[in-house]
Amino acid sequence: MSSDTSQRLPDGRPVPLLTGEERPMLESWLDFHRATLELKCAGLDDEQVRTASAAPSALTLLGLVQHLAEVERNWFQRVFAGLDVPPVFEEETGYALHPERGLDEALEIWRREVARGRELIAGRSPEEPGRITDGPMAGTVVSLRWVLIHLVEEYARHNGHADILRERIDGVIGA
C-alpha cells in the first residue's frame, strides 16, 4: 500500500499512512481512530448508544462520543491554542447523558470540535508548544507532536472500550 490518504478499508475508514512525514502520519492515525469511533456507533439507535452494556461500568457509546468531543476541545483549543473555552457539555468529562440529546446531536457536536481542532493546528509545527491548563500537570508545556500522540492514544483506548460496548449491545465485533 502507498501513503495515499484516499485509500479506504472495506468498512469505509481511511487507511492510515504507512510511509511519509511524521505530521501527516500522526494526523492520519488520528483520523483513522476518529472514523473507528463513528463506525462503532453506526446503525445503533439512541436507546442502544445509551446502554451501559458492560456492567458494572456505567460507560456508554454516547458518553464516549461526548467525552471525545471534550477531549478534542481541551487538547486543541485550551492546551494547544491557549483559548479560554467552557466545557462542551453540562459535565466536563462528557460522560453524563442529557435525556434529550441523542447520537445525531452528539456526533454533530463532536464533528464540530474535530473541525475546530483541525483549523487551530493547520500549518503549525509539531514542535510548537501549548500548556496544560489544569489537573496535576497544570502549567506543563507540551508540543503539538505530544498532543497528537496523546490523542491517538486516547482514541485507541476508548475505541477498545467501544468494541466491548458494541459487542455487548448487538454482537457486532471488529473494527
What is the tens place of the pLDDT at every residue in 110-154? 999 999 999 999 999 999 999 999 999 999 999 999 999 999 999
Specify the pTM: 0.93
Task: Encode burial over 38-57: b for 16+ CB neighbours within 10 A, e otherwise.
Answer: ebbbeebeeebbbeebeeee
pLDDT at 92: 87
Task: Using alpha carbons only, give the angle 64, 69, 72 rounded to the nearest 5 degrees.
Answer: 120
Q: What is the grid cell recorded at 91?
A: 459535565
Reported as a pLDDT band with limits 50, 70 and 90, residue 6 is confident
Reported as a pLDDT band with limits 50, 70 and 90, residue 156 is very high
pLDDT in tens, 81-93: 999 999 999 888 9
Q: What is the grid cell recorded at 51?
A: 446502554
